[in-house]
Amino acid sequence: MRVCILGSGLSSLTLAKSLVNQKIYVDVLYSKKIYPVNKTRTIGISKSNIEFFNEKIINIEKIIYKLNKIEIYSDNLEKQKLVSFGNNSDYLFSIVKNHKLQEILQKNLFKNKYFKKTNYKANINYSKDYDLVFITDYNHPITKKYFNKKIEKKYNSVAYTTIIKHNKISNNIAVQIFTKNGPLAFLPISEYETSVVYSINNYLKGEIEINKLINNYNVKYNLKKINKIHSFELKGLSLRSYFHKNILAFGDLLHRIHPLAGQGFNMTIRDIKILNNLIQNKIDLGLPLDSKLNTEFEKNQKHKNYIFFSAIDLIHEFFNLERKTKNNFLSKSIQYFNKNSSINKTFIKIADKGLLF
Ligand SMILES: Cc1cc2nc3c(=O)[nH]c(=O)nc-3n(C[C@H](O)[C@H](O)[C@H](O)COP(=O)(O)OP(=O)(O)OC[C@H]3O[C@@H](n4cnc5c(N)ncnc54)[C@H](O)[C@@H]3O)c2cc1C
């Protein structure tokens, strides 16, 4: 069995590793365009997804930093705690640097006999040369031809990311603040470093301003340095059709969500988990890998991913509305309901396992 993956980002490499582990030949094809390595990007991965990663993809224990608690605050409650999740006895999720995850995957894949990585070639017949094709590249002509119908959400926001360096501190609590400019997250990655993601509404631009805002909201860290700030325009999307014949869209090309809940890549890991099971069933039954797999994958995942996409959007709109109306009734209600431990546990389970539990 031979498949190909178009594009070579994080979703592509993670999927490739999962497939070679199932003894499937994988060709990763990519464009010659040079992407500068951004060392300020981090990803929060939920506990059950880390367990799946370690067991079925590659062991990443050495490069992750475990966090026990998330505390959420809101400007609308005058910086009072809105809710908190987790306790000190077990970890909730882990933070990893994007470039380290890419490096470990790439290094391992290059040693694998089932794996090949080459530039895009002309004259490939995707339906004849490969059993299945996965596409993760937004700029590929196939994306433009077959995967242009989507539900899109423009957030009119930019995400600013950086890493702050600070004095040594016990650093196992992630903090998210719903500020009047948008959500700001402090995500610890060591006792000395914390990743910052600030999604700011209405294009309030300029590094100095962002540094100042980070400083204003930082109450915990004795800052030594704020690294270079990178920015990304935020968009949400969900493809209307997941596949065309034997070609399946994957990763952020399939669904992209607001980073406020740190769930984008977690959704892709859950997709890989399902795909992994569907493929294993076919292998066990001696069935071919063909477009039927794409139909089954879409049937399994599309509704769950869409509910997730909508739920994240709802949270975003909810805090936007509160900010615009300068009313804290909604936050007060969350504070009240979250005191109920079973509601709190349900939120933790959804963030950990998606809609599977
Ligand atoms: C600010 C921010 C914070 C986030 N935080 C979290 C989080 O905490 N938890 C979580 O689960 N998700 C998070 N996400 C989402 C997560 O980053 C994406 O889901 C994930 O990076 C998508 O990977 P991808 O390969 O599908 O897409 P991309 O990385 O966009 O790649 C898609 C395609 O673009 C091209 N490409 C782009 N960059 C490169 C590159 N460097 N090298 C090679 N090719 C490239 C390639 O063709 C590639 O296949 C966050 C997103 C943002 C914007």
Query: 47 CA distance to ligand 1 centroid (A)?
Result: 20
What is the tens place of the pLDDT at every residue in 210-248? 888 899 999 899 999 999 999 888 999 999 999 999 999
Alpha helices in the chain (DSSP H): 10-21, 47-52, 98-110, 126-129, 141-146, 207-217, 264-285, 291-325, 329-338, 341-353
Which of 8, 18, 184 maximizes ligand 1 atoms within 8 Å of its Cβ, making it the mutation to test the pocket?
8
- For residue 194, the cross-strand partners are 164, 188
Residue 143 scores a pLDDT above 70 = yes
Cβ–ligand 1 distance for 36 under 6 Å, the answer no
Residue 321 scores a pLDDT above 80 = no
Q: At residue 169, what is the residue type?
A: I
| Ligand 1 atom 28: residue of nearest CA | 9
Which of 195, 252, 234 has the alpha carbon at shortest distance from 218? 195
Q: With b meaning 16 or more CB within 10 Å and e meaning fewer, what string describes 312-329?
A: bbeebeebbebbeeeebe
Q: With b meaning 16 or more CB within 10 Å and e meaning fewer, what string describes 124-135?
A: eebeeebbbbbb
13, two tokens: 């490499």
Q: Highest-confidence range of 13-22, 210-219, 333-342, by mean pLDDT?
A: 13-22
What is the pLDDT at residue 132?
97
Please identify which residue in the block is written with the tokens 């077990």: 90
Q: What is the mean pLDDT of the chain?
A: 90
pLDDT band at 312 (very low <50, low <70, confident <90, very high): confident
Helices (H) and strands (E) counted in the chain, each on its own, are 10, 18
What is the pLDDT at residue 357?
45
| Ligand 1 atom 51: residue of nearest CA | 259
List the domain boundaries for the chain: 2-353
Backbone angles phi, psi at 135, to 5 degrees: -120, 130
pTM of the predicted model over 0.85 = yes
Cβ–ligand 1 distance for 96 under 6 Å, the answer no
130 neighbors 246 (Cβ within 8 angstroms): yes
Q: Is 14 helix (H, G, I), strand (E, B) or coil?
A: helix
How many percent of the chain have pLDDT more than 90?
64
252 neighbors 150 (Cβ within 8 angstroms): no
184 neighbors 259 (Cβ within 8 angstroms): no
Q: Rounded mean pLDDT of 253-267? A: 93
Residue 348 scores a pLDDT above 80 = no
Residue 208 scores a pLDDT above 80 = no
109 neighbors 117 (Cβ within 8 angstroms): yes
- For residue 159, the cross-strand partners are 199, 232
Q: At residue 253, what is the residue type?
A: L
Packing angle of the helix pair 264-285, 10-21 (nearest 10 deg): 20
What is the tens place of the pLDDT at every residue in 275-306? 999 999 999 999 999 999 999 999 999 999 99
More confident residue, 185 or 351: 185
Residue 127 scores a pLDDT above 90 = no
- CATH number for the domain running over 2-353: 3.50.50.60
23 neighbors 148 (Cβ within 8 angstroms): no
Which ligand 1 atom minimizes the distance to the CA of 266?
11
